């Protein structure tokens, strides 16, 4: 049987039941619209929430952890090597926080093709002296340009210019710390290190990450400023932060390079496993809700086609009586179902995109996220592709069973019944 004739008959049957056809197409359209809009919105939120931490977290962090020496004197004594030695109140070893031979390590990492960039860092515990009150805090000495390139540092500097940190004796305060000290831009604050060194630093900006506890204690200065504060040489580095081209390589590389350099190494998956788990759960919920909508719309199409078959039994009998076989009838109703899926799916994708644009314009302003002005939406083409394919699959199976029922109609019994 020619496909042109089958398409014409399918079209005639749909037009004869136009209201039901429109209802079915609208159901598919609504499902696809909500599927695309929901996934775009939820994954936009996932990207925003994870970015609050993950964007500023190195894929691999190298550092020296202060811990007790595993080789205690009693264990080295041959008289006690075969004994069970119980040692209490072991004190940390006298090893320093600084990374030995840091310049050579950084050079080696920069030459590694798997590495996107390397940024040195110093973390210094300090007291901010406000009159007779001392506030505890952390001043992070950073390579300003590398921090901006690799960790989006400039996006979180809400007031001031981050490049002013390249000047000696300047500091960008966490917004919470600045509020507690009532420090304005241009003010000079006094900072005391844990070693007792006192320095005066000029406030050149505010940093706001969106994490209140972090902003209450953390501030930023250049590496040279922090080295001067601590009275350390220019080779003094406590952390080496690494960004990779593929962060999935981080666990293996951290183990490999940590053993080579003989320093401690943390990878992003291990340190922030809870964020990845939260993202996966939220994404799973989004897909589950969206697919449920599509399945529900499929049942609607199934019911409508069933009713259409019941009402068009005489038409089906006539078609089979004039030469249409069961396969032709089956194709007619499959074409009807797929036509509803294609029309509803295309309209759903269009309206889903427009819904995403509308959500993207809704104001979302909060003091915790000063750089975010509207709700975030992810326009990943993957969601549109999944929605389009799933709408065709759903509508095909919604039409398959009614079509099989229609193809099994006995024209003799129908005509005799009439």
Residue 350 has pLDDT above 90, yes or no: yes
Which range among 35-44, 129-138, 306-315 shows the weakest confidence by mean pLDDT? Answer: 306-315
Q: Which helix (H) or strand (E) holds 166?
A: none
Q: What is the mean pLDDT of residues 190-206?
A: 89
Which range among 128-137, 183-192, 197-206, 219-228 shows the weakest confidence by mean pLDDT? Answer: 128-137
pLDDT tens for 75-113 read 677 777 777 777 776 666 555 778 888 888 989 999 999
pLDDT at 212: 76
Sign of the C-alpha dihedral, residues 101, 104, 107, 113?
negative
Q: What is the mean pLDDT of residues 309-320?
A: 69
pLDDT at 203: 92
Q: What is the mean pLDDT of residues 374-392?
A: 85
**pTM > 0.75:** no
Full 3-state SS string of 198-221: EEEEEEEEEECCCCHHHHHHEEEE
DSSP 267-334: EHHHHTHHHHHHHHHHHHHHHHHHHHHHHHHHHHHHHHHHHHHHHTHHHHHHHHHTT--HHHHHHHHH
Task: Report how far residue 42's alpha carbon sits from residue 40's, in angstroms, rounded to the nearest whole number.
Answer: 6
Residue 348 has pLDDT above 80, yes or no: yes
pLDDT at 22: 83
Residue 23 vs residue 52, higher pLDDT: 23
At 353, the pLDDT band (50, 70, 90 cuts) reads: very high
Residue 342 has pLDDT above 90, yes or no: no
Full 3-state SS string of 237-265: CCEEEEEECCHHHHHHHHHHHHHHHCCEE
For the chain, domain boundaries: 3-54+275-417, 96-266
Residue 332 has pLDDT above 90, yes or no: no
Which range among 188-202, 243-257, 284-298, 338-352 shows the weakest confidence by mean pLDDT? Answer: 284-298
Q: Which residues of 312-343 are buried (b: 16+ CB within 10 A; e: fewer)?
A: bbebbbebbeeebeeebbbbbbbbbbbbbbbb
State the chain's mean pLDDT as an integer: 81
Quickly list H helices, 63-158: 73-76, 102-110, 144-151
Q: What is the mean pLDDT of residues 257-269?
A: 86
Q: How many CB atoms lie within 10 A of CB 301?
A: 28
At 11, the pLDDT band (50, 70, 90 cuts) reads: confident
Query: In a 3-state reduction of DSSP, which class is residue 104?
Result: helix
Give the number of C-alpha atoms closer than 13 A to the C-alpha of residue 54, restricted to the C-beta side. Answer: 17
Task: Report how far residue 190's alpha carbon sits from residue 124's, in angstroms, rounded to the nearest whole number.
Answer: 15
At 171, the pLDDT band (50, 70, 90 cuts) reads: very high
Q: What is the mean pLDDT of residues 268-285?
A: 73
Residue 59 vs residue 303, higher pLDDT: 59
pLDDT at 202: 92
pLDDT at 204: 93
């Amino acid at each position: 049987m020619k496909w042109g004739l089958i398409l014409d008959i399918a079209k005639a049957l749909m037009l004869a039941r136009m209201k039901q056809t429109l209802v079915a197409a609208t159901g598919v359209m609504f499902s696809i619209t909500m599927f695309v809009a929901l996934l775009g919105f939820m994954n936009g939120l996932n990207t925003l929430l994870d970015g609050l931490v993950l964007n500023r977290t190195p894929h691999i962090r190298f550092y020296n952890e202060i811990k007790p020496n595993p080789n205690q004197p009693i264990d080295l004594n041959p008289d006690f090597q075969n004994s069970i030695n119980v040692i209490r109140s072991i004190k940390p070893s006298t090893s320093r926080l600084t990374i030995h031979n840091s310049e050579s390590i950084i050079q080696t990492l920069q030459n590694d093709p798997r590495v996107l960039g390397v940024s040195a860092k110093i973390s210094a515990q300090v007291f901010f002296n406000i009159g007779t009150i001392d506030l505890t805090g952390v001043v992070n000495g950073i390579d300003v340009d590398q921090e901006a390139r690799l960790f989006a540092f400039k996006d979180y500097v809400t007031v001031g210019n981050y490049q002013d940190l390249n000047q000696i004796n300047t500091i960008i305060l966490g917004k919470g710390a600045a509020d507690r000290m009532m420090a304005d831009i241009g003010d000079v604050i006094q900072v005391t290190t844990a070693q007792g060194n006192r320095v005066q630093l000029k406030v050149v900006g505010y940093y706001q990450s969106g994490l209140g506890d972090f902003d209450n204690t953390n501030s930023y200065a250049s590496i040279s400023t922090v080295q001067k504060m601590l009275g350390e040489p220019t080779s003094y580095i406590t952390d080496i932060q690494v960004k990779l081209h593929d962060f999935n390589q981080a666990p293996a590389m951290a183990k490999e390079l940590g053993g080579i350099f003989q320093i401690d190494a943390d990878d992003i998956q291990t340190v922030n496993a809870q964020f990845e788990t939260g993202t996966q759960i939220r994404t799973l919920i989004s897909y589950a809700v969206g697919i449920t909508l599509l399945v529900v719309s499929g049942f609607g199409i199934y019911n409508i086609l069933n009713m259409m078959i019941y009402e068009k039994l005489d038409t089906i009998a006539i078609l089979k009586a004039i030469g249409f076989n069961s396969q032709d009838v089956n194709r007619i109703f499959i074409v009807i179902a797929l036509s509803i899926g294609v029309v509803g799916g295309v309209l759903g994708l269009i309206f889903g995109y427009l819904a995403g644009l509308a959500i993207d314009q809704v104001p979302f302003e909060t003091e915790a996220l000063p750089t975010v002005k509207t709700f975030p939406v992810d326009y990943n083409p993957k969601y549109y592709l999944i929605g389009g394919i799933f709408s065709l699959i759903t509508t095909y199976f919604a039409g398959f069973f009614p079509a099989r029922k229609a193809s099994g109609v006995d024209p003799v019994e129908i005509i005799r019944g009439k």
